[in-house]
Amino acid sequence: MPSSLIRLAKDETAEARQRLFAEVSRLVATDLEDRSDSELELFADVMLKLYGSSATDDRLQLAQKLAPSTHSPAELLRRIARDEVKIAMPVLAESQTLTRQDLLDLVEQVSEEHILVLARRKDLPVEVSDALAAKGSAAVLRILAANKHITLSRETMNGFVKLAAEDSTLRNGLAQRDDLPPAVCQELLPLVDDEAKKRLRTAIEGSLSKEQLDQIARLKVLRKTFGEALANQDVGTLWREAERSAVTLDELMILLLQDGRFHHAIELLGARGRIAQSALKDAMFNGKRDVVIRTAAKAGLDVPAFALLAKARCAHLKLPAAQGGEWTGAYAKQIADAAKAREGRCDDFQARRRDKT
């Protein structure tokens, strides 16, 4: 250690401690990659002890030197990250040494200004972006929505869609993302300008199978050719009109649900699944999933139509959207299991026929 540093270390005045912080910082932080673990540990220990006595400019220079390096002592970085925002900014914005847990802890510990910097990071884990979305202000949510470098959870994405109708800045940022699911694109379509509409439609079409695209085209045609009959409020009459027009159960269910006619959709499902309306409504509104699944399977409803029904149920009852996904997963499994069982019975039948011959 240089003799000048030894003299400063022995001097306990505030000025000496401030100079000592600056000198040690300059000496060590310029070649962190060449330092051993024990040297870095000692460096961090000294810096943390002197931190409260240091000058603002010296702390800022230290932050700027440490932030880009992967060899920077984690404990010292965590302390800098909680400093005033102009000093913490380099570490908050780019330090790769901060772990996921470090970032989660900071979300709970730092100010709104710090959180605004964190929200712009290009490497935010999903859990951290969720935490920021849960805690942040409208400004934070707008930054997250427009941050195309990060992945947003389905829950956060759905939350942004709900806010998009009232917040044009958030809406525009969200609409620019490249990772929007088709359902989110569809919900944003009525809210955005013509240029954004083209981009969202391209995203929807690029993510859908030919079968799904054919169904969308078919539903558009039905809107024109079956639209007048669709206005009928008597579900029994509506179904008879649908049969005469070669409209399938799945298509009619989707059209009803798209029009917000949730109760009519339940009535139609009950009639086709041959269950008392009161029993199906009880199952639907009180979460008796197995009853609803058996009824839908008996009616021959396909999985996409059931998924839309499950989503509409969650929206109508103000339930978490995840529950709709759980119901759809259970229904898809039921349909797959039933198909396997039919295959097994068919194989057994064919085997018995071969044995007889």
Q: Give the model confidence (pLDDT) of 23-44 as tens digits.
A: 778 877 777 778 888 888 888 8
pLDDT score of 298 more than 80:
yes
262 CB burial (10 A radius; 0-12, 13-18, 19+): middle
CA 291-295-301 angle, 5° bins: 135
**Token pair of 346, please?**
């068919």
pLDDT of residue 11: 57
Phi, psi dihedrals of residue 147, rounded to the nearest 5°: -80, 95
- Cα torsion for 36, 41, 46, 49, to the nearest 10°? 170
Cα torsion angle, 9, 75, 27, 57, sign: negative
Look-up of token digits 């330092």: 35
Q: How far apart are CA 171 and CA 191, in angstroms?
A: 8
Q: How far apart are CA 123 and CA 121, in angstroms?
A: 6
Confidence category of residue 82, pLDDT binned at 50, 70, 90? very high
CB atoms under 10 Å from CB of 23, counted, come to: 16
- Please name which of 175, 132, 126 lies closest in space to residue 153, comparing C-alpha atoms: 126
- Please name which of 230, 180, 174 lies closest in space to residue 206, comparing C-alpha atoms: 180
Q: Which of 64-73, 195-204, 205-214, 263-272 has the weakest average pLDDT?
A: 205-214
158 CB burial (10 A radius; 0-12, 13-18, 19+): middle
Where is pLDDT greater, at 9 or 291? 291
Phi, psi dihedrals of residue 176, rounded to the nearest 5°: -85, -10
Which parts of 55-153 fold into alpha helices (H)?
56-66, 74-81, 85-94, 100-109, 112-118, 126-135, 138-146
